[in-house]
Amino acid sequence: MYYVYLLINNQAKIYTGYTKDLKRRMTEHNQGDGYTKRGSNWRLCYYEAFISKKDAVQREKALKQSPQARRWLKERIKDSMELCGKS
């Protein structure tokens, strides 16, 4: 499985990525890997699972490049995002 995921940190920053190993990737993010090293306490707020890597990469790209796709997702999971932001 491949996962497209959305993280939120203490400063309400949002990060979107994809991975084959979600548990390992969460550990890496919270140890200050790449872009997420600028934040702390990243929390998994949402994920989608795909069998195809190509589908996961396309979905991640759509969420990163399309303001409309990102807006629709945020609207769909607004209560979850609010709860993640309070953790």
Q: List, for residues 55-79, the tens digit of each pLDDT value.
A: 999 999 999 999 999 899 989 999 9
34 Ramachandran zone, left/alpha/beta (phi>0; psi -120 to 50): left
Domains of the chain, CATH where assigned: 2-86 (3.40.1440)
% the chain with pLDDT above 70: 91
Stated pTM of the model: 0.87
Q: Are 6 and 46 in contact (CB under 8 A)?
A: yes
Is residue 36 over pLDDT 80? no
